[in-house]
Amino acid sequence: MNYREKMEHFLVDKFNGRIKPLEIEDFETINKHKDNTFGFSFAGLMLYCNGMNEKAISHYAPMGLLYNDGENIMGIGIFKKGVAEKNIYVHIVAPRGKDWMKCIDEIEGNLKEYSEEKTYAIIVRHIKDNEYNELIEAGYQNIEIDPWDIQAPQEDETYNNRLVELSKIVKNEGNDIVVESLTNEEAKNYKKKTRLAYNRFRNFLSYNNAELVYEKYTPQYIDVAKSIVESHFASLKNRVGSTPQDYYNLIEKSFYEENKVYAYIGFLKIQNEKIPVSLFIGEVIGEKNVALYATFATRNIELKDDVNTIGFSAISQYCYVRIFSMLQKEGIKFADLGGSELDELNTFKKQLGAVLIDTYWAIKICWQIQKNELKYK
């Protein structure tokens, strides 16, 4: 077993059923505690606690660990910042319940007793400002003392323009989609940008007698979905934070068959070809509110030489509009797009009408080096 799997087994054994590997069967348990927040959902915990990333592989708990004592609930993921790094960080994800702080203290106390591997720090993430303040009062610190990444100290919670009110960006009129001009203050510099981009891609489709069709995502598309995600990451000039493997649980696990999950895969039909280009997977997090955890539209595909590519670069905006339209038809009013590692992606979400919903990280350094030895603080 590697460092992560050993620590997972230790915690599961110590907590006598209160900590266990996260499994599909936990979907309904998590569903009962949802509170309209991005971090706390089955997909959210599965994404942020995942054991698929090469920095933190776990065959024992590939979706991470779940703490649940009946009243308090949270996700647990164990990570290093890089494959060659030594320091181990225990991530507590979206803690919920009236005694959540005591639960984290108990986890820390047990980790202190674990002699085989030393927990360098505990990070609590996907928390609101009041929870962040409680942690600071209890001795935690701002993540700036040990940023997860220099460019993205709080990974994809570094920038937080995320919540879209669908009626303010799209309107369904029969089979047509009308893209609205944005009116919120944060979008004042690009009120019509999404509409213009949507129309550019529609023109691309028209020029080439093509169409972009969405189908319900099912297990038959697992390999295709992975290819979309991998193509997206391969095209990034500045890869910060996530890896393709982080999304494999979302793709591989059958949780998307639940009635509170919306999952779609998109294909570009052009010149007798059906090219996979888009993947969206979201979960209901509250009444008429969906969080989107996989949001991919790749431009990294090969088109034939005689294809008129004018407007193709607007595929991302076009796909978001299509997904917003489909969600609206399902009665959904809000879409939480999640935060962003970089300002560039945050700006893109502003152009879709996303408003600011801040979430925070807090860190407690548990061990420090004194005379070449690790000492518990």
Read off the amino acid at residue 211.
Answer: E
Smallest CA-to-CA distance from 342 within 260, 256, 240, 268 is with: 240
Which residues fall within 8 angstroms of residue 13, CB to CB, at 6 or more apart? none
| Residue 372 confidence (pLDDT) above 50 | no
| Sheet of strand 273-286, all strands in order from the earlier edge strand to the far edge | 211-216, 261-270, 273-286, 289-297, 334-336, 161-165, 355-356
Residue 48: burial class (beta carbons within 10 Å; 0-12, 13-18, 19+): buried
- DSSP strand pairing (170-173 vs 176-179): antiparallel
Whether 297 and 350 share a structural domain: yes
Read off the pLDDT of residues 1-19 as tens digits, 9 standing for 90 and up: 999 999 999 999 999 999 9
Read off the pLDDT of residues 119-173 as tens digits, 9 standing for 90 and up: 899 999 999 999 999 999 999 999 999 999 999 999 999 999 999 999 999 999 9
- Tell me what percent of the residues of the chain surpass a pLDDT of 70: 97
pLDDT band at 369 (very low <50, low <70, confident <90, very high): very low
Instruction: Average the pLDDT over 244-248 and give the result.
Output: 94
pLDDT at residue 377 in the model: 56
Q: What gap in Å lies between CA 41 and CA 32, rounded to an integer?
A: 10
Q: What gap in Å lies between CA 142 and CA 129, rounded to an integer?
A: 12
Whether 327 and 368 share a structural domain: no
Strand stretches in 70-201, DSSP E: 73-79, 88-96, 119-127, 141-142, 161-165, 170-173, 176-179
Whether 173 and 115 share a structural domain: no
User: Residue written as tokens 């891609």?
Assistant: 201
pLDDT at residue 300 in the model: 85
> Strand, helix or coil at 278?
strand
Residues 368, 119 contacting (CB under 8 angstroms): no
CA angle 197, 170, 267 (to 5 degrees): 60
Q: What gap in Å lies between CA 31 and CA 89, rounded to an integer?
A: 27
Smallest CA-to-CA distance from 365 within 87, 61, 85, 97 is with: 87
CB atoms within 10 A of CB 84: 7
Give the largest Cα separation in the chain, rounded. 72
**β-sheet bridge partners, residue 370:** 373
Whether 289 and 310 share a structural domain: yes
pLDDT band at 368 (very low <50, low <70, confident <90, very high): low
pLDDT at residue 83 in the model: 84
- Radius of gyration (C-alpha) of the chain in whole angstroms: 21
CATH of the domain at 120: 3.40.630
* Cα distances (Å, whole numbers) of residue 278 to 160, 163, 239, 296, 316: 23, 21, 19, 5, 9
Whether 115 and 79 share a structural domain: yes
CATH of the domain at 171: 3.40.630.30
- The end-to-end CA distance of the chain, in Å, is 28
Stated pTM of the model: 0.93
Read off the pLDDT of residues 204-238 as tens digits, 9 standing for 90 and up: 999 999 999 999 999 999 999 999 999 988 887 77
Whether 195 and 333 share a structural domain: yes
Instruction: Average the pLDDT over 332-352 and give the result.
Output: 95
Q: Which of 58-62, 105-109, 185-189, 293-297 has the lowest mean pLDDT?
A: 185-189
Whether 275 and 182 share a structural domain: yes
Q: What gap in Å lies between CA 11 and CA 78, rounded to an integer?
A: 11
- Tell me what percent of the residues of the chain surpass a pLDDT of 90: 83
pLDDT at residue 371 in the model: 39
Of all helices (H) and strands (E), which one includes residue 296?
strand 289-297
- DSSP strand pairing (119-127 vs 88-96): parallel
Whether 136 and 194 share a structural domain: no
Give the residue numbers spanning the domain of 289. 161-356
Q: What gap in Å lies between CA 258 and CA 237, rounded to an integer?
A: 35
Whether 239 and 363 share a structural domain: no
Whether 175 and 322 share a structural domain: yes
Instruction: Average the pLDDT over 288-298 and give the result.
Output: 95
Whether 13 and 51 share a structural domain: yes
pLDDT band at 376 (very low <50, low <70, confident <90, very high): low
Whether 40 and 149 share a structural domain: yes
Domain count, the chain: 2
Q: What gap in Å lies between CA 26 and CA 40, rounded to an integer?
A: 13
Read off the amino acid at residue 165.
Answer: E
Residues 282, 214 contacting (CB under 8 angstroms): no
Q: Helical H runs in 182-314?
A: 193-207, 222-235, 248-252
